[in-house]
Structure 1
Amino acid sequence: MRERRRVARPPQPVDFWPFGGMIAMAATLFLYAVSGIVAPWWATVLLLVVWVGVFARACTWWTTHPRRISAAALGLLVLWFVVLVGGAVALDWSA
């Protein structure tokens, strides 16, 4: 009896969402890192701790929920803006 030849599956298309999300995460890292120009050191450290936590969670979403990585990066961008503008207005960080 003949042996059946195994045929490889065709390659699956690469999804852009996790890559785009991680690029956006890297962009927010730069924003969080230079926040020390306006914000006090403790606020900058707190922002970076939040970023690391969201980044760790985004790494676990790579294959299961790739679109959530982009949403998390957008959420980090909004959080950065709210914290810096709110701190500058309410706590006079820019002085």
Structure 2
Amino acid sequence: MISRWAWAGRVVAWLGLAGHLCTLPYYLASGLVAPLWAIIVLLLAWLGLLALAVLAVRARSAWGLAVPIVAVALWWCAITAGEVFLGWQA
């Protein structure tokens, strides 16, 4: 029988993966503000974070819940920095 903590780690890891998939529309909609090169870099970062989320699910690690938080923070910082420092506009 699976212990309570192992079960919780599995559920949290799956929630992290689901949350990360919910960030994809924001990354895809970045084309309204960012140039093509920035969108490619952001999508590569998103794919890297997806790999981390899948690894967290396979390892049943609760750290998987941090993946969507990092994804949102990375996207927000990249778009904001592009607007402020590089003059990106919608």
TM-score (normalised: structure 1): 0.79
- Residue 45 (1) aligns with residue 40 (2): yes
Q: Kindly report structure 1 stretches of 4+ aligned residues shifted beyond 2 Å.
A: 11-16, 63-66
Residue aligned with 1:62, SS: helix
**Higher helix content, 1 or 2:** 2
How far apart, in 2, do the equivalents of 1:47 and 1:22 lie?
18
Cα deviation for residue 57 of structure 1 reads 2.0
Aligned position for 1:61: 56
Label 1:12 to 1:65 Cα distance change in 2 as closer, same or farther (>3 A): closer
Identity of aligned residues (%): 29
- For the aligned residue pairs, the C-alpha RMSD in angstroms reads 1.8
Q: How far, CA to CA, are the matches of 1:83 and 1:65 in structure 2? A: 30
Distance 2:24 2:62 in 1: 19
Displacement of 1:12 in angstroms is 5.9
User: Are the counterparts in 1 of residues 27 and 39 from structure 2 also a CA contact under 8 Å?
Assistant: yes
User: 2:17, 2:67 within 8 Å by CA — same for their partners in 1?
Assistant: no
Map of 1:33 onto structure 2 = 28
Gaps of 5+ in 1: 1-8
The answer to whether the Cα contact below 8 Å between 2:33 and 2:88 also exists between their aligned partners in 1 is yes
Report deviation, 1:66: 2.6
Aligned length: 86
CA positional deviation for 1:37? 0.6
Q: Give the TM-score normalised by the residue count of structure 2.
A: 0.82
Structure number with bigger Rg:
1
Q: Deviations over 1:32-69 (max 9, x none)?
A: 11111111111011000011111112211214253211
SS in 1 for 2:14: helix
